[in-house]
């Protein structure tokens, strides 16, 4: 079937190709009569405008670049999958395209192919962020709060989440609370630790050096940290872990040692990964709205692209404590 082109539409409508192009692209300098004739010709010929031609005419690509820092197992990551899910749903609603760019921080997206960019995180991509800002490209950062830079950010309130965990465990009677951190090279890992320490001190609870074990979001780091904590003479009665997968590994280690969860050790994770509800002991955890973070990031960058939002916006999304079966009130006395 022959594809109708813009010249045939112009001939049928009795106008110039420039006039047809202006009508298609919504330019309001065309007379009402000419606009009517072009619309009738388009309908009669069943003409479908070429999206690429429209984009060239408007100077816009209708595309947002999604920059994802490369790390091992990225496409098996609950975090990445949930964020991409939210981004994809929002992009579909906004009728914009996505250009996915996975990078080790050295390769950069083709800025002429996108109207704006969203960083899924900036760990290892700081130089790329500097470049987008230098080029004046509309930019939004996810999972990282940068107060000092004039750039929009959407992140999780990790400090408040950690404080909520401490409050919850204190209400259950726990005082001897330990933590296994996530990777402290990430802002999320640091903020969860900072929030934990701040909350413990604010409630006059002991913050023991040997109760703070450093992990990196991996199962081996969780296993080693838990082994160390549970070998202490006066081991903790409660444990706050930087991710659900790490927390489930901590529970496995405890059970293997004959330590009952939650009777002898309460455990709280972070993420509300679907696996949290289906472990050997269903896990109490912090639910973070990762898909909402992705959705908000795309909507925000699209507002910047369209000129509806000029100044940078900083958004901290709240979390929710999800109670399951891994925590119990303690009656232990020291």
224-281 confidence digits (pLDDT tens): 999 999 999 999 999 999 999 999 999 999 999 999 999 999 999 999 999 999 989 9
Does residue 24 surpass a pLDDT of 80?
no
| pLDDT of res. 157 | 96
> What percent of the chain shows pLDDT beyond 90?
63
Please provide the CATH number assigned to the domain covering 6-58. 1.10.260.40
**85: exposed, middle or buried (C-beta count within 10 Å: 0-12, 13-18, 19+)?**
middle
Q: Do domains 6-58 and 63-156+290-318 have the same CATH topology?
A: no
Query: Nearest to residue 189, comparing CAs of 197, 70, 265, 168?
Result: 197
Please provide the CATH number assigned to the domain covering 63-156+290-318. 3.40.50.2300
> What percent of the chain shows pLDDT beyond 70?
93
**Cβ neighbours of residue 209 under 8 Å, at least 6 residues apart?**
none
Separation of alpha carbons 117 and 294, rounded Å = 12
| pLDDT of res. 333 | 47
Does residue 334 surpass a pLDDT of 50?
no
Separation of alpha carbons 197 and 214, rounded Å = 14
Q: Strand 116-119's sheet: what is its strand order?
A: 97-103, 63-69, 116-119, 139-142, 152-156, 314-317
- 223-232 contacts, C-beta under 8 A, 24 or more apart: 223/249, 223/250, 223/253, 225/180, 225/250, 226/180, 226/250, 226/253, 226/254, 227/253, 229/178, 229/180, 230/254, 230/257, 230/259, 230/265
Tell me the pLDDT band of 21, cut-offs 50, 70 and 90.
Answer: confident
CATH class of 158-288: alpha beta
Separation of alpha carbons 114 and 302, rounded Å = 11
Q: Cβ atoms within 10 A of the Cβ of 204, count?
A: 7
The domain locations on the chain are: 6-58, 63-156+290-318, 158-288
Separation of alpha carbons 312 and 306, rounded Å = 14
- b/e map 39-61, b = 16+ CB within 10 Å: eebbeeeebebeeeeebeeeeeb
| pLDDT of res. 331 | 63
| pLDDT of res. 72 | 64
**pLDDT tens digits, one per residue of 28-42:** 788 888 889 989 988
Separation of alpha carbons 155 and 237, rounded Å = 31
Does residue 108 surpass a pLDDT of 90?
no
Does residue 84 surpass a pLDDT of 60?
yes
Q: Cβ atoms within 10 A of the Cβ of 324, count?
A: 17
The answer to whether the beta carbons of residues 132 and 103 sit under 8 Å apart is no
- Its pTM stands at 0.80
């Amino acid at each position: 079937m022959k594809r109708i082109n813009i010249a045939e539409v112009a001939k049928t409508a009795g106008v110039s190709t420039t006039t047809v192009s202006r009508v298609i692209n919504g330019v309001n300098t065309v007379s009402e009569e000419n606009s009517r004739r072009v619309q009738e010709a388009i309908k009669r010929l069943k003409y479908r405008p070429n999206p690429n031609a429209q984009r060239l005419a408007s100077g816009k690509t209708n595309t947002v670049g999604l920059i994802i820092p490369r790390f091992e197992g990225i496409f098996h990551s609950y975090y990445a999958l949930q964020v991409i899910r939210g981004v994809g749903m929002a992009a579909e609603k906004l009728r914009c395209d996505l250009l996915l760019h996975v990078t080790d921080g050295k390769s950069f997206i083709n800025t002429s192919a996108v109207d704006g960019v969203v960083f899924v995180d900036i760990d290892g991509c700081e130089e790329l962020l500097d470049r987008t800002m230098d080029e004046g490209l509309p930019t939004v950062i996810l999972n990282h709060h940068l107060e000092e830079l004039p750039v929009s950010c959407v992140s999780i309130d990790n400090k408040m989440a950690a404080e909520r965990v401490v409050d919850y465990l204190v209400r259950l009677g726990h005082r001897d609370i330990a933590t296994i951190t996530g990777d402290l090279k990430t802002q999320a890992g640091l903020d969860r630790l900072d929030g934990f320490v701040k909350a413990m001190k604010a409630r006059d609870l002991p913050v023991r050096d040997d109760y703070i074990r450093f992990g990196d979001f991996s199962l081996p780091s969780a296993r080693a940290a838990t082994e160390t904590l549970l070998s202490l003479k006066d081991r903790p009665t409660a444990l706050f872990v930087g991710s659900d997968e790490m927390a489930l590994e901590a529970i496995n280690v405890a059970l293997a040692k004959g330590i009952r969860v939650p009777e002898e050790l309460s455990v709280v994770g972070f993420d509300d990964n679907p696996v949290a509800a289906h472990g050997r002991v269903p896990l109490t955890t912090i639910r973070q709205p990762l898909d909402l973070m992705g959705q908000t990031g795309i909507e925000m960058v699209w507002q910047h692209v369209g000129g509806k939002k000029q100044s940078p916006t900083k958004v901290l999304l709240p979390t929710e404590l999800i109670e399951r079966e891994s925590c119990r009130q303690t009656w232990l006395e020291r």
